Amino acid sequence: MLFTPKGSFIFNRLTLSMDQERYNAREAEPKWQKIWEDAALFQTGNGDSRPKYYVLEMFPYPSGRIHMGHVRNYTMGDVIARYKRAKGFGVLHPMGWDAFGMPAENAAMQNKSHPAEWTYANIATMRAQLKSMGLSLDWSREIATCDVAYYRHEQRLFLDLLDHGFAYRKQSKVNWDPVDCTVLANEQVIDGRGWRSGALVEQRELTQWFLKIGAFADDLLSGLDTLTRWPEKVRLMQANWIGRSEGLLVRFALAPVQTSQESDSVSDAVSEVEVYTTRPDTLFGAKFIAIAADHPLAAACAENNPELADFIAECRRMGTSVAVLETAEKKGYDTGLRVHHPFDENWLLPVYVANFVLMDYGTGAIFGCPAHDQRDLDFANAYGLGNQPVVCPPDQDPATFVITDKAYDGDGTLIHSRFLDGMTIPAAKEAVAKRLEEQTLGNAPQAQRKINFRLRDWGISRQRYWGCPIPIIHCEDCGIVPVPRADLPVVLPKDVSFDEPGNPLDRHPTWKYVACPQCGKAARRETDTMDTFVDSSWYFTRFTDPWNAGDPTTPEAIAHWLPVDQYIGGIEHAILHLLYARFFTRAMQATGQMGEVREPFAGLFTQGMVVHETYRDKAGAWVNPGQLRFETQGNERRAFLLDSGEEVAIGPIEKMSKSKRNTVDPDEIISTYGADTARWFVLTGSPPERDVIWTEEGVQGASKFVQRLWRLVGELMQAAGSEEPAEPAVFGPAASAIRKASHGALIKVESDIERLHFNTAIATIHDLANKLSASIGAIESEEIGADVRFACREAASILIRLFAPMMPHLAEECWAAASFAGLAAQMPWPDADPSLVVEDEMTLPVQVNGRKRADLTIAREASEAEIQAAAAALEAVQKALEGKPVKKIIVVPRRIVNVVA
RNA sequence: GCGGGCGUGGCGGAACUGGUAGACGCGCCGGACUCAAAAUCCGGUUCUGGUGACAGAGUGUCGGUUCGAUUCCGACCGCCCGCACCA
Judge if the beta carbon of A41 is closer than 7 A to nucleic acid strand B: no
Judge if the beta carbon of A396 is closer than 7 A to nucleic acid strand B: no
| Chain A 450..479 CB hits on strand B (< 7 A) | 452, 454
- With beta carbons less than 8 A apart as the criterion, state whether A344 and A354 touch: no
What is the pLDDT at residue A585? 97
Q: Measure, in angstroms, how far nucleotide B60 C1' is from residue A687 CA.
A: 22
Nucleotide nearest the Cα atom of A850 (by C1')? B68
- With beta carbons less than 8 A apart as the criterion, state whether A138 and A46 touch: no
Q: Which residues pair with A452 in a beta bridge?
A: A245
What is the pLDDT at residue A99? 96
- Closest residue, by C-alpha, to the C1' of B15: A760
Judge if the beta carbon of A822 is closer than 7 A to nucleic acid strand B: no
What is the pLDDT at residue A777? 84
Distance from C-alpha of A607 to C-alpha of A107, rounded to nearest angstrom: 29
Please state the length of chain A: 901
Judge if the beta carbon of A379 is closer than 7 A to nucleic acid strand B: no
Question: What angle is formed at CA A76 by the lines to CA A72 and CA A80, rounded to 5 degrees?
Answer: 170
Nucleotide nearest the Cα atom of A698 (by C1')? B26
Judge if the beta carbon of A330 is closer than 7 A to nucleic acid strand B: yes
Distance from C-alpha of A25 to C-alpha of A755, rounded to nearest angstrom: 30
Distance from C-alpha of A823 to C-alpha of A362, rounded to nearest angstrom: 63
| Chain A 519..548 CB hits on strand B (< 7 A) | none
Q: Measure, in angstroms, how far nucleotide B44 C1' is from residue A706 CA.
A: 25
What is the pLDDT at residue A200? 79
Distance from C-alpha of A210 to C-alpha of A460, rounded to nearest angstrom: 6
What is the pLDDT at residue A634? 61
- Closest residue, by C-alpha, to the C1' of B6: A690
Which residue from A599, A596, A597, A591 is spatially nearest to A165, judged by alpha carbons?
A591
- Cα of A318 vs its chain's centroid, Å: 33
Which residue from A717, A712, A708, A706 is spatially nearest to A807, judged by alpha carbons?
A706
Q: Measure, in angstroms, how far nucleotide B3 C1' is from residue A236 CA.
A: 9
Judge if the beta carbon of A282 is closer than 7 A to nucleic acid strand B: no
Q: Measure, in angstroms, how far nucleotide B38 C1' is from residue A22 CA.
A: 15
Which residue from A398, A370, A399, A401 is spatially nearest to A383, judged by alpha carbons?
A370
Nucleotide nearest the Cα atom of A275 (by C1')? B87
Which region holds residue A447: left if phi is over 0, alpha if psi is between -120 and 50, else beta? beta
Quick one: DSSP state of residue A887?
A: -
Over chain A (901 residues), what is each successive 10-residue block's mean pLDDT? 31 40 92 97 94 97 94 96 97 97 89 93 97 97 98 97 96 82 79 78 85 94 92 91 92 77 60 92 94 90 88 72 55 91 94 88 91 90 91 86 85 91 92 94 91 91 94 96 96 89 88 95 96 96 97 97 95 91 96 94 93 88 86 73 85 86 92 96 92 91 95 92 88 91 95 94 96 87 84 96 97 95 96 86 81 82 85 82 81 85 77
Q: Measure, in angstroms, how far nucleotide B71 C1' is from residue A197 CA.
A: 45
DSSP string across A103-140? HHHHHHHHHTS-HHHHHHHHHHHHHHHHHHTT----GG
Which region holds residue A444: left if phi is over 0, alpha if psi is between -120 and 50, else beta? beta
The H-or-E segment that residue A880 falls in is helix A875-881
Question: What angle is formed at CA A43 by the lines to CA A41 and CA A47, rounded to 5 degrees?
Answer: 120
Distance from C-alpha of A166 to C-alpha of A584, rounded to nearest angstrom: 10
Judge if the beta carbon of A747 is closer than 7 A to nucleic acid strand B: no
> Which of strand B's nucleotides are less than 7 A from any protein C-beta?
1, 3-5, 10, 12-16, 19-21, 23-29, 32, 39-42, 55, 67-69, 81-87
What is the pLDDT at residue A3? 31
Burial of A320 per CB tally in 10 Å (0-12, 13-18, 19+): middle
What is the pLDDT at residue A17? 44
Judge if the beta carbon of A279 is closer than 7 A to nucleic acid strand B: yes
> Which amino acid appears at position A93 of this protein?
H
Indicate the pTM of the whole model: 0.91
- With beta carbons less than 8 A apart as the criterion, state whether A852 and A829 touch: no
